[in-house]
Structure 1
Amino acid sequence: MGFEGEVWRLVRQEELLGEIVIDGSDFPWLNGRFVPTPTFMEVKPWFDESLALLEAEAYEQFDDAYDQISDTLSLVAPSGPVAEFLLHIIDDRAWFRWSEEPFQDG
């Protein structure tokens, strides 16, 4: 199943924060060009912090920081919202994985 060209949306409630235009994949990850709306700047620090923690291998702190993203924002596939996602954004690039079912802990 090809995802290239699909547009996924990042939303906070009904408010669009940005769109991801898929241009590549490396299973289970999709990646693409991120096109933010001006409102994205309100949550951009969350993504900056979570990625910095991940790169520092501070995994427990990453989990806590990422909870703010996953508890507040939604990722919407062309077919509708996904149950769970792990999304990273740097500048105009985004990469993510998702699940139709909640992720299992552990």
Structure 2
Amino acid sequence: MSTQPEFKPKSFWQRPEGVTGMIFMAALLLGGGFLLYTALPTLVLLAQNTLYLALMLGVLGAIVYMVLDPRMRNLVWYMYKSVMRWVTGLFVQIDPIGILKSYVDDLKDNL
């Protein structure tokens, strides 16, 4: 047995950008639910026309295909993580080298 603790990298949700991602995802789900609730009467009205119904089913099929396709899911997941890292970087410094440089500058100021 080794006495050194094992290094386990943090998951996306445990890092600062994960917290931003959770807040953003909750807001996105609430906003999408509200928009769906307000647009539902219009969608029901459009579904009464066969041409519009076929078009809506085609769009729904494309969305379901994109959700079920693993490559598309990975692409969206990586884009989501990149955007959340960028948004978090606007108000929190997450660059490890930048954090060390600012720490060294603070130590120099204390001398």
Q: Give the TM-score of the pair, scaled to structure 2.
A: 0.23
Structure with the higher strand share, 1 or 2: 1
Structure with the higher helix share, 1 or 2: 2
Q: Give the TM-score of the pair, scaled to structure 1.
A: 0.23
Bigger radius of gyration among the two: 2
